[in-house]
Amino acid sequence: MMSQLTQVTTTRLGDHLPLLDLLPDANPLSWVRRGEGLVGWGIYATTTVRGENRFRDARNWWHQQLENLSITDSVHASGTGPILFSSFSFSPEEESVLVIPQVVVGMREGISWITWIGDNPPPVLLNEPAPLEELAYSWGDGTLPPYKWEEQVEKAIELIRTDKVEKVVLARDLNATTTSAIDVRLILRNLSIEYPTTWSFAIAGLVGATPELLLRLKHGMVTSRVLAGTISKTGDDEKDLALAASLARSSKDLEEHVFAVRSVADSLAQFCASTNVPDSPYVLHLANVMHLATDVTGAVAESRTHVDTFAILEKLHPSAAVCGTPTDVAGRIIKDLEGMSRGRYAGPVGWIDARGDGELGIALRCGQISGESIRLFAGCGIVAGSNPERELSESQVKFSAMKSALQK
């Protein structure tokens, strides 16, 4: 006797909805940029995966869930139908989180839609915006105090000079506590206002705003935005233009960037009939920093079957932008020198649909919430020309996005 399928329905809504204002305070899910993207709430199903096969295990679990669903989709666009919100760990040993929400609301190019699982459509009500009350945070060092982290950077530079490795990304953390439960919605709203060109994400307590799109797969076209090489902004337009020019000429930053672009291009080439890699990066301007950026694109080869987001993720992660070059050597050095668990920081985060298309960034500029505490993360690419003091300063600048979102 066949078990009864669960109904999934997608239908169009109005022309515009403020996605982040729809979110409830309990376990909100978000992937939003410039007001477009997906938000979700309620849990239809959730699981965790870990180990070297976590991307394949995630695909298998997702497909098992899809087999139990009957989908009615009147919108037929990328991101409609049932959605899997995914937050993968950086390391195979850590836990990755997969969530299929009960309700998803999406918007793209001014058109919005709603997907729900079950027989009865939920009401789509705009919540009263939560007040942006300022919480008082107590700050403390993370795993390593700043001076010790600088020492680890120096050790990484010494290893690079011995030709064992070309680049190593070293991360550090900060801890903050407050007296009330931390509201993810407030952080998302602040980040989306201050950093509108980034992707504001929230999955299972991991919240942040990443400027780095690891993978977009849509109708056989693949895009990956590579960021490596960073300089702080002053807020003075004339000075910042000069700084942008110096970043574009910096041999240290260009070397770091080349490693990152090469690792992504090589990974995508395995799946694509053709790839496009620009000859030189552009400078991406954010509110507090500028990055060297390159958008790598490709067309999936028609001869390749079963190429979905999971398959490409397995080859793309970890890229040189968050690990180093060569990846296996850099990964071992990270384990030896960082002395901390990254958890889901620097792992792929975003969504995947029933077609195998999806959009995932790298979980950067983020924090992991646990009740009344949050752990922030920042990482820096170390190459032969790096300076420990400057790398520490760069990490402080990268922390500032989340720190300001917490304290507004």
Specify the CATH number for the domain of residue 318: 3.60.120.10
Number of domains in the chain: 1
Whole-number pLDDT of residue 359: 97
The DSSP secondary-structure symbol of 321 reads T
Give, rounded to a whole angstrom, the gap between the first and last alpha carbons of the chain: 57
**Mean pLDDT of all residues belonging to the chain:** 91
Does 257 fall in a domain? yes
Question: Residue holding tokens 């003091």?
Answer: 389
Does 125 fall in a domain? no
Catalytic residue among 94, 150, 166, 212: 212
Looking at residue 356, its amino acid is G
For 96-140, how does the pLDDT look when each residue is reduced to its tens digit (9 = 90+)? Answer: 999 999 999 999 988 899 999 998 878 766 656 556 567 789 999
Q: What span, in angstroms and rounded, lies between the C-alpha atoms of 208 and 347? A: 12
Does 127 fall in a domain? no
Residue 372 has pLDDT above 90, yes or no: yes
* Of residues 156, 166, 160, the one with CA closest to residue 324: 166
* Of residues 374, 378, 394, the one with CA closest to residue 386: 394
Whole-number pLDDT of residue 124: 66
Whole-number pLDDT of residue 121: 77
For 202-251, how does the pLDDT look when each residue is reduced to its tens digit (9 = 90+)? Answer: 999 999 999 999 999 998 899 999 988 888 888 888 999 999 999 999 98
Instruction: Please give the C-alpha separations between residue 380 and each of 36, 74, 228, 386, in angstroms, as whole numbers.
Output: 29, 45, 9, 10
Residue 398 annotated to the active site: no
Question: Residue holding tokens 């960082």?
Answer: 338
Domain that holds residue 76: 6-118+137-407
- Work out the percent of the chain whose per-residue pLDDT is above 70: 96
Whole-number pLDDT of residue 1: 41
Task: Name the token pair of 196.
Answer: 């509108």
- Work out the percent of the chain whose per-residue pLDDT is above 90: 74
Does 123 fall in a domain? no
3-state secondary structure of 265: helix
Does 78 fall in a domain? yes
Does 378 fall in a domain? yes
Residue 397 has pLDDT above 60, yes or no: yes
Does 130 fall in a domain? no
Q: Is 21 exposed, middle or buried (0-12, 13-18, 19+ CB in 10 A)?
A: middle
3-state secondary structure of 130: coil
Whole-number pLDDT of residue 155: 96
Does 131 fall in a domain? no
Catalytic residue among 94, 166, 167, 256: 167
Residue 302 annotated to the active site: no
Rounded to the nearest 10 degrees, how much is the dihedral formed by the CA atoms of 297, 303, 306, 309?
A: 0
| CA atoms 234, 237, 243, 244: torsion sign | positive
